[in-house]
Amino acid sequence: MSYSWPNGARLALSLVVNVEEGAEFNVTDGDRGPDPVDELGIVLKKPVRNHGNESNYAYGINEGAPRVLGLLGRYGLPATFTAAAVALERAPEVAAGIVAGGHEVCAHGYRWAHQLGMSEEREREFIRKAAESIERTTGTRPVGWLSRYLHTDHTRRLLAEEGYRYHMDDYSRDEPFMDHSLPTPMVVLPYALDSNDMKIWNAPALTPQHWLDYARDSFDWLLAESVGRPRMMSLGVHLRIIGRPGRIGAFERFLQHVQAAGSRVWIARRCDIASYYASLDPAARRMPSEQTRAS
């Protein structure tokens, strides 16, 4: 499909902020053990609480969220907050800040849990509960979905049947595409793992400067490549990771770098990118007008 981004932009940039804190595995929520994703890399396989890691997640809500929201607000940039629904239920102040900033909330599960292994009926309930919860906490029903990586063969079809308009669980391209295999075509907005700030947790030798260099190099390459074809870049961060005082500056320097590219870049919420891309395909269902805005 031949197309261009709005207002002659060459590269669409999606800033993604993951909100998982409070929705991770915890024995107090009936889980078999604490969440294995820990900055220290300590995996406890027994059904005990990891109080230290719980407080690390809480840092994302208490300190990281105000920093990230404040930074986006100062630069006037829209973002998509991929939120596990329970995380927003337990942190209504974060939900309010996201809404006040004009950002989008994309569903990141009801809990921050893998869907792999769920029956079709259970997965449908999981997807539906996430939408209903986020609508209660933010006033707007989510139109996009990101799994906790492991999902099922049925996920995309269930999302379409439940009214979602785009899906993020794909890493295959640097541009959107349509899944025409569904009765109602769905926009697939590929995400990126290589530039995600989770790398700072997973690779202790990786400093914020290394992460910033990689993110800027990714942006610069895609921007140069976009001379010949439209491109899209996703940058994913987490409240408890990038929101630390020794890391937030790297995120700010990235924002400064991309803003310097001016009108060549369309920085937009994912719902806006999906809506625009769907509008180019006559077989695709348009997203409701109340879900979109020009950025």
DSSP string, 47-71: S---HHHHHHHHHIIIIIHHHHHHH
DSSP element (H, E) containing 173: none
pLDDT of the residue at 42: 84
Task: Give the pLDDT confidence score for residue 2 in this predicted structure.
Answer: 77
In which residue are the tokens 């396989």 written?
45
Measure CA 243 to chain center.
15
State residue 291's pLDDT score. Answer: 42
- Taking the C-alpha atoms of residue 87 and residue 94, their distance in angstroms, rounded to an integer, is 9
Contacts of 282 (CB under 8 A, 6+ apart): none
> Which has the closest alpha carbon to 92: 134, 52, 130?
134
91 in Cβ contact with 21 (< 8 Å):
yes
Tell me, what's the pLDDT at 43?
84
CA dihedral 136→120→172→113, nearest 10 degrees, is 50
Let me know if residue 87 belongs to a domain.
Answer: yes
State residue 34's pLDDT score. Answer: 92
Question: Which two tokens mark 249?
Answer: 């500056």
Whole-number pLDDT of residue 286: 47
Instruction: Work out how many domains the chain is built from and give that number.
Output: 1
- Please tell me the predicted confidence (pLDDT) of residue 262: 97
Q: 105, 123 in Cβ contact below 8 A?
A: no
Q: How many CA atoms lie within 13 A of 110 on its CB side?
A: 14
In a domain, 175, yes or no: yes
Task: Centre a 10 Å sphere on the Cβ of residue 14 and count the other Cβ atoms it contains.
Answer: 26
Q: What is the pLDDT of residue 270?
A: 98
Quick one: pLDDT at residue 215? 98
**Distance from the first to the final alpha carbon of the chain:** 23
- Token couple for 293: 């805005």
At residue 40, the pLDDT reads 84
Domain presence at residue 137: yes
User: How many other CB atoms are found less than 10 A from the CB of residue 31?
Assistant: 14
Please tell me the predicted confidence (pLDDT) of residue 239: 98
Domain harbouring 94, CATH code: 3.20.20.370
Residue 68 lies in a domain: yes
Q: Are 232 and 176 in contact (CB under 8 A)?
A: yes
Residue 1 placed within a domain: no
**Along the 295 residues of the chain, how does pLDDT read in single tens digits?**
678 999 999 999 999 999 999 999 999 999 899 998 988 888 888 899 999 899 999 999 999 999 999 999 999 999 999 999 999 999 999 999 999 999 999 999 999 999 999 999 999 999 999 999 999 999 999 999 999 999 999 999 999 999 999 999 999 999 999 999 998 899 999 999 999 999 998 887 789 999 999 999 999 999 999 999 999 999 999 999 999 999 999 999 999 999 999 999 999 999 999 999 999 987 654 444 434 433 3
Residue 130's domain comprises: 6-291
In order of 107, 134, 166, 244, the CA distances from 143 in angstroms are 8, 11, 6, 30
What pLDDT, on a 0 to 100 scale, did the predictor assign at position 107?
Answer: 98
Tokens of 46: 């027994």
- Give a yes or no: residue 148 inside a domain: yes
